[in-house]
Every structure is written in structure tokens, then in C-alpha cells.
Chains A and B, each alone.
Chain A
Amino acid sequence: MRITDRVFGVLLLIVAVAYGYEATKFPVPFGGQESVGPETFPILLSIILAIGSLYMIVKPDEDAKWPAVSMLIELGVVCLVLVLFAFGLEHVGFVLSATPAVAFLSWRMGATPVKSLLTGVITSVVIYVLFTRVLELALPSGILGL
């Protein structure tokens, strides 16, 4: 099957066209039109990307192995955990958001629940202390308020 490249070729072609179209809509810069404006380079890029994506559609490579749907969902959950970590960082502080994130990751990579939790707690605390006390880099302490 050579479907992946075709699909991505089409997607990239859409990106190229949209990107190029946006560039033609840029406001005329203050001081009037010159021979080269802010849109020249982007239009050039959109043409290059369009050529490349057309080639992908016409002559696709062999498909890569995509993981099963369950694995894709799992990767999605991992992304969500990373986003939650970033969100939590500003709201509940570094240690409380990093501990569950690290624990979850190492659990999903095959560590036992107890060991994952230990990894999470130890890593977050050590990194927090190392960065805030030794390297003097501000990390949000959050509701723990240490």
C-alpha cells in the first residue's frame, strides 16, 4: 500500500495553497509597494511546497508501519498528560504536576505502579530542589508554597 504518502501529499498541498493565499492578502506595508514585499518569500515557499507535495501524490513511497488504534489512543493520552502537566505547572506548581506526569510516563513504558510513583516523586523533588536552590532558576512552587 502506498496510501500514507498520498494522503499527506494532499494535506501538504492544501497547506501550501492556504499559506500562499494568505500571503497575497498581507496588507501593503507602510511606505507603499516595493519590488519585494513581505509576501514575496512566502509565495516562493508555497510554490516549492506545492511541487514537493505533488511529487508525493504522484510517486508515493512505501507505507510506514502505523501502530494499532489502541496505541494511537494511548499516545493521545500521553499528549494529554503532557498538556495537563504544562497546565498544572502554572496552577498547582511544579512538584504536584510533574510527579503524576513522570509516574504516568514510566508506568506506560512498563515500570510497575509502585516504582513509577517512586520515580515520579523522587525525580520531581530532586529536579525542583536542584533547579530552584542550586541553579537558582525559578520554577513555580504552586500551592505547596515551599
Chain B
Amino acid sequence: MVRATLTIGGIGVTFTGGATVVLAMRLPGMALFEGPASDGIVVHLDETLTVPSCSWQHTFNLDATGAKCRFGVGEDGCHYQVFGDGKVLRYDRRQPDRVACSTFDDPGLLRYVLWTAYGMAVLHRNAVPVHSSVVVCDGKAVMCLGESGTGKSTHTRLWCENIDGAFLLNDDSPIVRVEADGVYAYGSPWSGKTPCFRQERYPVAALLRIVQRPENTIERLGTIEAFTALQPSCPPALAHDEGFMDMTVGFISGVIGHVPVYRLGCLPDAAAARLSHSTIFNTRQ
């Protein structure tokens, strides 16, 4: 049995299995998160895992690969997510720290499946990989949320180019945790097209829901709008099961109870970055 230990989002992660563990550790950035063995979650890569008989609750096409995914609950009470041609991920709520998945040869799919497995396993620890681009400024993280193609990465790049001391923490999926003393964003091995893998964490100063507009405007959102801004950025596998949704709602309540959420209507220009920066850090003239 091959074993690799990592620390992702401050949580110990152990991959166990065969050659797929080696492949997993060769994914971009993954080795930078190697850490000592510790209590935490286990993702077991098991080539013998098969698709059971399930009541399928949801079917969707995976953006990254176009593979068809199904999500459902099996007769054994476990949750199953099936990717394309019968590759499967199994989550057992009675053992939430241990997730099993099929073995994968395709690195892109493996990356996505590990992200999904991690997201399921850490949810009960009030941690979620949130689809976002995150910039750090003055020791605090600002998270840009939005649909694919709305300009999250563009906006964080504009911060890096125009705001003194700003740098990118992660460009696709930082780990966000609600902790005793606040909300934190951690770098992760999942950073989209931008290889930005930082084993660091910062308190979250604000969330920005990015919307393209012909002029730059910013407004702080109330609780309900803040919820609808953040919820779609949580992993899709968590949206189709009551138990996952309960935990996700608890997590979102923790985040939006502590951190302001803004809607930023913006152009892809430096003025947009200055507007959001001055609003969040309260330096607006």
C-alpha cells in the first residue's frame, strides 16, 4: 500500500492506495502540501470500488472534462458520486473522515475527484473548498466569487498590479474555514489555470461577488443576498443532499455572520480594484 500525508487547509490528509497515490502526488502543487502524518481525513484510492444500486438524485455534466456525473444514495446508506464511465466516489456519513474513490489515470479528473473527496470529508469540520480567486492585502484575504468567466481572476490580478503589497493566494479553490476566532482562507493544491500553491492562511476581510457592469459600483449585501452569493461557490456535490446542505448552511452562516459580502459590478480596470480595495479597507476618500 502506498501512502502519502499532506496538510491541506490546516487539516491532515492521507492518500492511501496504489499507483494512483503516486499520480496524485505528481499533480501540480500537490507535493508542496506534504506534511507529517496526523489525525485528519483519509482518501483511499481503491481500484475495486464499483457502482452500487442507488437512487440517483442528481445528474450533471462536469465542466472540466465534459464527463457526466451522477449523485445518489446507495442501499448501504453511503453517498455515491459517479464520474463518466463508472468511476466512483463513496462517502459514508457514519465515517465522514474516510472517503473512498476509484483509481484514475486522467490527471484532470483525478484532481477534480480529490477536490470533491476532500470537500465532502472536511465539511463536518466547518471547512469548504470555495470556488474563488483570492488576493491577500495587509495580511488579510479578499475572496472574489462568481460564475466562470465573470472576471474573478481578472479582478485579483488587477489588485496585484495596482494595490501595494497585494498578492495572489489561490486562483480557483482556497479552503475556507470557520474557526473559533474568525474565518480563514487557506491556500490549496487546487488553483485552476494559475499555478499558485501557497501553504499559508489569512483571516478573510471580505467576499466580493463579481458581476460585469458598464461602470464600477459596489454595495454591501444583506444576509439573504450574501447567502445566494456564496452558496453556488461551494462544491456542487454538497447541494443535492439534505445532510450536506445542513452542514453547508451552517458553514455559510458562520462566514456571512463574521465577514462582509459585497456585490461588485465592475469593468476589468484598475479603478475597479481601487474601488473594492478602498471600500473593504475603509480608505475611501
Decide if A and B are genuine partners.
Answer: no
A residues whose Cβ falls under 8 Å from a Cβ of B? none
